[in-house]
Chain A
């Protein structure tokens, strides 16, 4: 189920405190929030932790949502704000002695296999993009949303999405070139083909 397919009455019931509706909403949002976290998080931030915190925040703040029709955009903003908070926390861990990274971060089973060099470089190239361009690129090019859906999620005009997409593509092409992804992608295609 996509974020735009969530029935509004389920959101409204969950807001009213119906436990079954909250469970249904959690189950529907969980893969979505996990996907957004995985694709928007910088290296050094655990997407699973972000997804967990974002869902807890969303469920806690759900009664404050005025218009259930705006739930997709509201949920997306909750995820991006949680990513921002985790990024700042990760930065603090790097700079403040004694604050070690979570044990879980090193646990391969919990965070999944480490990114390959190609994926790591793509993540770096995406992170080098300004945030507005990165968001549009991830939503439209990776998640497969239409520009209209992305505009709804980001609560910006469709024309702005299109211009950010154009700039994002150009910038991504440059960043990918700088990181030597031309050669890596050829090898990747050859390996896949084989």
Chain B
């Protein structure tokens, strides 16, 4: 057992060790309720017995019960049966489904095939997790390819959630491929409902559909991956600009890419404006933005445009990033 698990079980053992107060309370409860024959015998004579009137009254009640016994089944049995039937219906409706305990599906390099239930077979390379119940299984698929075969007659609604959308299906064969840049769903047999954000489509046998990223982080990953493989293109720049206004979490990285793509594609004036807007923002790599804006400003319009950024860099003690531009500060009036 590894050190983490040992530590966890040790902490659990310490926390669940009975405390003295707890044991004392349990002792008192046991004294009050333990079945002790000798104590019961000692107490019996002290208990008040029934009086003659009470016994007489009890006999009368028994007599009345016997005489009315013939009618009782009609009065009592019917409502009881109705109540039992209602309870059976309620139990049927609200009987809890057996929950799967979350089952990791992880095969980083080689394909793995599992059959979590008779009607469902999964083959995958990648990572995800199986949740839900036997009658409504749910798969969260994080990355990689998963092939699903679900018995059409079983009538089991299966749902697969990916970072970019989800897939709903009742009995079919299909695959889901979560890549770096997008998610692709391909149907081999049957019909599958695919939802990419609010946009849903019903796919028939042989059809496939691609979902673009569903989160800001996935968009950044996609753009970075495309930039790495395709280089700077107008198409990539247009896709990047579709993300404007840039979201808070990934905006810093997207702005940096924006300046870089504009410069590489030769849109220098736009690149300068983007770099200056970028340099206005506080962020972990602001000095790089300032250096970029200073360099672009100097290249396009000379020292005058670069100077405000250089002054900022001097405040941050980061003039070393653009040593060739320091003469611009000496020329300052």
A interface residues, Cβ below 8 angstroms from B: 17, 19, 22, 26-27, 30-31, 34-35, 38-39, 47-48, 51-52, 55-56, 59-60, 91, 95, 110, 112, 115-116, 118-119, 122-123, 125-126, 128, 137, 141-143, 169, 172-176, 178, 181-182, 185, 188-189
Contact = CB atoms under 8 A, between A and B. Distances in A.
A182 B19 CA distance: 28
Contacts of A60: 35
B7 A38 contact: no
Interface stretch (B20-28, B168-176, B238-246, B317-325): B20-28
- Name the prevailing secondary structure of the A interface residues: helix
Contacts of A123: 12
- Name the prevailing secondary structure of the B interface residues: helix
B25 A48 contact: yes
A122 B11 contact: yes
What are the 6 A-B residue pairs with the smallest beta carbon separation, nearest first? A38-B16, A34-B18, A142-B13, A122-B12, A119-B15, A128-B101
A142 B14 CA distance: 9
Contacts of B19: 112
Contact of A126 (B4, B7, B12, B26): B12
21 contacts: A30-B26, A30-B30, A38-B17, A48-B26, A52-B26, A56-B30, A56-B33, A60-B35, A91-B96, A110-B25, A116-B15, A123-B12, A126-B12, A142-B13, A143-B13, A173-B5, A175-B101, A176-B8, A181-B4, A185-B8, A189-B7
Given A48-B26, A56-B34, A128-B101, A169 B1 contact: yes
Given A17-B37, A22-B36, A48 B22 contact: yes
A135 B331 CA distance: 80
B228 interface: no
B304 to A, nearest CB: 51
Contacts of A173: 1-2, 4-5
Interface in B134-150: none
Interface of B: 1-2, 4-13, 15-19, 22-23, 25-27, 29-30, 33-38, 94, 96, 101-102, 104, 129
A24 B103 CA distance: 47
B263 to A, nearest CB: 41
A39 B13 contact: yes
A38 B18 contact: yes
Nearest to B106: A174
Contacts of B34: 22, 26, 55-56, 59
Contacts of B12: 39, 119, 122-123, 126, 142
B94 A95 contact: yes
Given A122-B12, A174-B104, A141 B1 contact: yes
B259 to A, nearest CB: 36
B4 A176 contact: yes
A17 B38 CA distance: 9
Contact of B30 (A52, A169, A189): A52
Contacts of B25: 48, 110
Contacts of B4: 173, 176, 181-182, 185
Given A38-B17, A178-B129, 10 more contacts: A34-B18, A35-B16, A39-B12, A48-B25, A95-B94, A112-B19, A118-B8, A141-B1, A142-B10, A189-B7
A34 B6 CA distance: 22
B104 A178 contact: yes
Contacts of A174: 104
Contacts of B16: 35, 38-39, 47, 119, 142
Contact of B18 (A27, A35, A91): A35
Contacts of A142: 9-10, 12-13, 16
Contacts of A59: 34-35
Contacts of A17: 37
Given A112-B19, A142-B13, A172-B5, A56 B102 contact: no
B250 to A, nearest CB: 24
Contacts of A30: 23, 26-27, 30
A176 B5 contact: yes
